[in-house]
């Protein structure tokens, strides 16, 4: 996967850009003023794979809490300030490594300048974004899809120019929509137009089970084209679920190192003589305590099985009443089916 070249932007200790790994981020979803809960959630997100965490600071009390949270965690934090220039300045002074700002939400240009100057002084990065929903508020009620993309790009150009004119280039760009095709399109355009790192996500996707496919299609497509430097999957509820989906997307493209075994299972067909799903679920459970990025294959036939086994660290090809066990592509055992899982685990432990 060849990444589109971008500048590097420092978000505290984390570098973002094409010269660095793709960074997963997410957002706390407990009230920011409940400092201990918030810190706990930051650590849960770090444990799950986040290198950056964003925290909403809608009120003065939140930026005060934010200042304390910054002291209690070792990763850079991003403040989501939304409408308020005051919250932006407070968050920057509180030690935010990055501010998320939709300039379209700040009505007075002087306020934007004030924020830029403060961020510059504190070496705070800034994610500036356009959001189709915000644009729609005042401009695009009945604008067709492709025109919306053009409008979003135009808006983004205006913002970038504003920041650059003020000598600020610690920028990460993002453009969001809840429409998959338009999110793909606007991000392609942004990647063509600018060389700042890109933050990608799909807004308001839905419940985790409904968010998975649209997020994988959107982010997967862009990542496969080399676009995107930091990603956030949006889903309602526990943010750890967002990170798990983000990780799966990156893993599928080889952009994130798995730390757990990968279970490859044949799709089963009319040739299958055994209950592969049941067997695979048993194998999944049996290997769940192994924390190594091994590739384990469970195949239900001896047609595609041996071929697939050459790509797996350990493979089990199950036929009627017996199982063929492979290690690194070599057949190492034929056992009765009752001993198949034990035989597989034995081979796994040899690695």
**Of residues 14-73, which lie at the interface with its own copies (CB under 8 A)?**
27-32, 38, 55-58, 62
Closest C-alpha to 286, from 201, 242, 346: 346
- For its own copies, the binding residue among 141, 320, 330, 349 (CB under 8 A) is 141
* Closer residue to its own copies (CB): 235 or 340: 235
In the complex, least distance from residue 165 CB atom to its own copies, rounded to whole angstroms: 28
Please give the biggest Cα pair distance in the chain. 77
* Closer residue to its own copies (CB): 9 or 70: 70
Strand partners, 324: 317, 334
- For its own copies, the binding residue among 150, 269, 334, 351 (CB under 8 A) is 269
Please report whether residue 220 would count as binding its own copies according to CB under 8 A: yes
According to DSSP, residue 30 is labeled S
Residue corresponding to tokens 């939709």: 102
Residues of this chain, 275-294, that bind its own copies according to CB under 8 A: 276-277, 280-281, 284
In the complex, least distance from residue 298 CB atom to its own copies, rounded to whole angstroms: 8
Interacting span for its own copies (CB under 8 A) from 87-95, 161-169, 220-228, 343-351: 220-228
* Closer residue to its own copies (CB): 111 or 169: 111
Q: What's the CA gap between 247 and 257, in Å, rounded?
A: 9
Please report whether residue 346 would count as binding its own copies according to CB under 8 A: no
- For its own copies, the binding residue among 77, 80, 274, 324 (CB under 8 A) is 80
* C-alpha pair distances (Å), 312 with each of 55, 86, 247, 289: 41, 55, 21, 19
Collect contacts of 27-30 with beta carbons under 8 A, ≥24 apart: 27/53, 27/54, 27/55, 27/56, 27/80, 27/232, 27/239, 27/242, 28/53, 28/54, 28/55, 28/56, 28/239, 29/237, 29/238, 29/239
Please report whether residue 192 would count as binding its own copies according to CB under 8 A: no
In the complex, least distance from residue 94 CB atom to its own copies, rounded to whole angstroms: 15
* Closer residue to its own copies (CB): 23 or 57: 57
Q: What's the CA gap between 228 and 236, in Å, rounded?
A: 22
In the complex, least distance from residue 167 CB atom to its own copies, rounded to whole angstroms: 30
Interacting span for its own copies (CB under 8 A) from 70-78, 161-169, 306-314, 338-346: 306-314
* Closer residue to its own copies (CB): 9 or 227: 227
Q: Quote the tokens at residue 207.
A: 């419940």
- For its own copies, the binding residue among 46, 143, 263, 290 (CB under 8 A) is 263
In the complex, least distance from residue 278 CB atom to its own copies, rounded to whole angstroms: 9
In the complex, least distance from residue 67 CB atom to its own copies, rounded to whole angstroms: 15
* Closer residue to its own copies (CB): 21 or 58: 58
Interacting span for its own copies (CB under 8 A) from 78-86, 109-117, 164-172, 286-294: 78-86
- For its own copies, the binding residue among 36, 47, 137, 146 (CB under 8 A) is 137
Helix or strand (DSSP H, E) at 120: helix 109-121
Q: Quote the tokens at residue 209.
A: 């089970």
Q: How far is CA 324 from the centre of its chain?
A: 38
Q: In what order do the strands lie in the sheet with 77-80?
A: 171-176, 125-131, 98-101, 77-80, 52-56, 23-27, 230-231, 199-200
Residue corresponding to tokens 């660290």: 313
According to DSSP, residue 309 is labeled H
């Amino acid at each position: 996967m060849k990444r589109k070249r971008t500048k590097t932007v420092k978000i505290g200790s984390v570098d973002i850009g094409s010269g660095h790994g793709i960074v997963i981020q997410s957002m706390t979803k407990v009230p920011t003023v409940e400092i201990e809960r918030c810190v706990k959630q930051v650590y849960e997100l770090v444990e799950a794979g986040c290198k950056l965490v964003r925290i909403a600071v809608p009120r003065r009390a939140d930026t005060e809490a934010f200042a304390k949270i910054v002291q209690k965690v070792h990763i850079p934090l991003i403040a989501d300030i939304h409408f308020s220039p005051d919250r932006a300045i407070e968050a920057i002074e509180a030690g935010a490594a990055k501010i998320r700002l939709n300039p379209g939400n700040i009505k007075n240009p002087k306020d934007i300048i004030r924020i830029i100057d403060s961020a510059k002084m504190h070496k705070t990065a800034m994610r500036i974004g356009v959001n189709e929903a915000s644009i729609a508020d005042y401009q695009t009620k009945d604008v067709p899809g492709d025109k919306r993309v053009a409008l979003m790009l135009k808006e983004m150009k205006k913002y970038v120019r504003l920041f650059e004119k003020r000598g600020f280039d610690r920028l990460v760009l993002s453009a969001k929509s809840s429409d998959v095709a338009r999110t793909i399109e606007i991000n392609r355009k942004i990647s063509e137009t600018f060389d700042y790192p890109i933050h990608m996500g799909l807004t308001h996707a839905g419940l985790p089970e409904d968010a998975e496919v649209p997020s994988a299609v959107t982010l997967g497509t862009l990542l496969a084209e080399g676009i995107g430097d930091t990603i956030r999957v949006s889903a309602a509820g526990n943010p750890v679920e967002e990170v798990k989906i983000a990780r799966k997307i990156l893993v599928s493209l080889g952009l994130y190192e798995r730390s757990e075994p990968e279970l490859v299972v044949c799709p089963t067909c009319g040739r299958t003589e055994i209950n592969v799903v049941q067997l695979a679920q048993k194998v999944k459970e049996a290997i769940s305590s192994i924390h190594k990025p091994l590739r384990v294959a469970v195949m239900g036939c001896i047609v595609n099985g041996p071929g697939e086994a050459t790509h797996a660290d350990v493979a089990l090809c199950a036929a009627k009443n017996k199982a063929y066990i492979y290690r690194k592509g070599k057949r190492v055992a034929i056992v009765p089916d009752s001993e198949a899982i034990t035989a597989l685990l034995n081979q796994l432990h040899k690695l």
